[in-house]
Structure 1
Amino acid sequence: MRVTTGDQAGAQAVSAAEGDWGQPGRPEKPAPDGGPARARNLGLVLALISAFAFGGSGVAAKPLISAGLEPLQVTWLRVAGAALVMLPVTWRHRRLLLRRPALLLGFGLLAVAGVQACYFAALSRIPVGVALLIEYLAPALVLGWVRFVQRKPVTRAAAVGVVLAVGGLACVVEVWSGLSFDPVGLVLALGAACCQVGYFVLSDHGSDGEDAADPLGVIAYGLLIGAVLLTVVARPWEMDWAVLGGSTDMAGTRVPAVLLLGWIVLIATVLAYLTGILSVRRLSPQVAGVVACLEAVIATVLAWVLLDEHLTAPQIVGGAVVLAGAFIAQSATPKGDGAEGADGSAAGGSPVDAPTPDRTSYR
């Protein structure tokens, strides 16, 4: 199973957890004309587009929050807008609602509403890059769940990755200066990571076998369910809609608020999810993991340029260590696919039943 931190979790983790295109036993989609190399190149381009689109979500959302909208209201606008665009997909996969209601509810509640609400609330208090880097603790948290709750062994390399991720995070938040960032913002960012872990554990227990679901359908229904849930808590009828008719400040430049909202809905959500799904089948886990980590880099650079959110040298180094640790943690955990012996154990005695972080990303 694939764990992603940041927004790409929706596209990548769902595709991995639910079956590639929702049809168990269906042979792989043939590579486009030009062979595997062209397919990989296309997959890389799509993954880069997805990472860039996801990475820009926080940068576009923060000015709207600064202009007077509540983080929950911006989250609702994003999810409801994307759900509206994806309505034709929900109709196409309407049987999915009856076949896998628990999975769809879990995705809508945790991976959509939970992650995005916590993330947007966090970035209203702390820098975008810091909030996203904290979410990269998700692979470490999954491994902690496997080791201490499920009491299953993990590899030494995975443990090293966890230590690196935690140590890098200490540099990002500058613990030596007494946590200079808003503690509530840090807790909210950690809450986003925990919501990701909750969804991945849930999907690991219900996504395999003959009842595998189409990932595009899961995302479409997840957005719809998330929009309904967020409507209750965000209370959009109390929102100051006039904010969307004005302009917001981005590092001294006035930008139409509706343009930022359009980016969040169409680019950072719909396009990002679709390109993420299309890229999954064309890339190896190693390449995909590196590309997914670029989301945090892109978000940090965009926040630096567009929002004047500068990170210190120790924070930049710590961020690199977090990404390295997250990548090691998710790539070092052994897969059980095709490696089990007759007794259900891996050929080398490695754990095979743990949720396997394969990739890092989600916002």
Structure 2
Amino acid sequence: MHWRLSTKTTGLLLALLSALAFGGSGPFARPLMDLGLTPLHVTWLRLCGMVLVLSPVAWHYRLVMVRQWRLMLAYGVFPIAGVQAFYFASVARIPVGIALLIEFLGPIFVLLWVVSVRKQPVARTAVWGVLLAVVGLAALLEVWQGIRLDVLGLMFALAAAACQAGYFLLSDAAQDDTPPLALIALGGTIAFILMTLIAQPWSLPWSLLRNPISLAGTPASAWVAVFWLGIVSTALAYVTGVAAIRRLSAPVAGGVAYLEVVTAILLAWVLLGQALNGVQMLGASIVVLGAYLAQRSASHTVSAEIPAHERETSS
């Protein structure tokens, strides 16, 4: 008997795999930063793996780069390089789960842009999504006790959310004949070149990678984290995310992508010992619900197809 999965089932499995892959970026990046690597160096290492895997794809779509170089440049700078660099800078200062939850407020930034700049009306569910996300964020940060987290870390997370909004807005600007995989491969190449200039990998303390890292209290090679970030959390995550979107509608793929938050929180707890308390878990659930409602509204408002992430990811 031959088993054959339907297109929708295959899409859901790919979206799930993408979310799980993206969710591991923060928990595997933090040990590298604890060794002494800067967030910029970790971002460069992650993009290096992505370029190594997707360079044949970028070469295949090189003519798209010639026709739409402005779009590719913006996509590489904001949704790919910007999200990852700001997210890792945030993870270096605040818990992984909180950083990712704040990053996932990106759809709310889109709705604010649509209302204030484009002067377009939004659905009532969008308003409820924004309100829920704000309430959930207040519980997540436990604002009644004063914000005890690193303020700069919170600002970096908000910057990542603003860059994440670029997925919506730039996808809306993309022409119908622009393959999503071309956006990722060419945008990733541009992001890698940009981060090479900024991070200056020739100054990267490579000797630190000979030191072991701690994962779930067990020593492990630092190169395990480097491999995971570059191959699993970036190349595999993006490719499976694009494949999922081709088989599912953008809202469904985007909804499954919110499992990235769950994955990141669980992995941060298991691998790093970063646990959220009961109130913060409730706040996290409300943030996810609010951001999801906003994401669905944003998808319909700007007619954008969103990669199944962080998410850079991100997540």
TM-score greater than 0.5 by the shorter chain: yes
Cα displacement string for residues 219-248 of structure 1 (whole angstroms, at most 9, x for unaligned residues): 111111111111111111111101222211
Secondary structure of 1:255's counterpart equals strand
State the shift of 1:251 in Å.
3.8
Partner of 2:12: 44
State the shift of 1:40 in Å.
1.4
Secondary structure of 2:258's counterpart equals helix
| Contact map agreement 1:146 1:355 (CA 8 A) in 2 | no
| Percent of residue pairs identical | 46
Q: CA RMSD in A?
A: 2.0
| Contact map agreement 1:49 1:275 (CA 8 A) in 2 | yes
Q: Does 1:321 align with 2:286?
A: yes
- Choose the corresponding residue for 1:128, options 96, 99, 102: 96
Which of the pair is proportionally richer in helix? 2
| Contact map agreement 1:139 1:357 (CA 8 A) in 2 | no
Q: Which amino acid aligns with 1:259?
A: V
Q: Which amino acid aligns with 1:361?
A: E
Secondary structure of 1:120's counterpart equals helix
TM-score relative to the length of structure 1: 0.81
Cα displacement string for residues 282-326 of structure 1 (whole angstroms, at most 9, x for unaligned residues): 234454233111000110011011100010111100110011011
Partner of 1:275: 240
Partner of 1:207: 174
State the shift of 1:333 in Å.
5.1
Report the Cα distance in structure 2 between the residues aligned to 1:101 and 1:175, rounded to whole angstroms: 43
Where structure 1 has 5 or more consecutive residues not aligned to the other structure, the ranges are 1-32, 336-351
Partner of 1:307: 272
Report the Cα distance in structure 2 between the residues aligned to 1:46 and 1:356, rounded to whole angstroms: 19
Partner of 2:31: 63
State the shift of 1:114 in Å.
0.7
Secondary structure of 1:125's counterpart equals coil
| Contact map agreement 1:58 1:128 (CA 8 A) in 2 | yes
TM-score relative to the length of structure 2: 0.93
Report the Cα distance in structure 2 between the residues aligned to 1:161 and 1:52, rounded to whole angstroms: 24
Report the Cα distance in structure 2 between the residues aligned to 1:92 and 1:310, rounded to whole angstroms: 44
| Contact map agreement 2:8 2:247 (CA 8 A) in 1 | yes
| Contact map agreement 2:73 2:187 (CA 8 A) in 1 | yes
Partner of 1:224: 189
Partner of 2:164: 196
Report the Cα distance in structure 1 between the residues aligned to 2:298 and 2:221, rounded to whole angstroms: 45
Report the Cα distance in structure 2 between the residues aligned to 1:329 and 1:269, rounded to whole angstroms: 25
Q: Which ranges of 4 or more aligned residues in structure 1 deviate by more than 6 Å?
A: 357-360
Secondary structure of 1:95's counterpart equals helix
Secondary structure of 2:219's counterpart equals strand
| Alpha-carbon spacing, 1:137–1:227, altered in 2? closer, same or farther (3 Å) | same
| Alpha-carbon spacing, 1:82–1:254, altered in 2? closer, same or farther (3 Å) | same
| Contact map agreement 1:330 1:360 (CA 8 A) in 2 | no
- Choose the corresponding residue for 2:77, options 97, 101, 109: 109
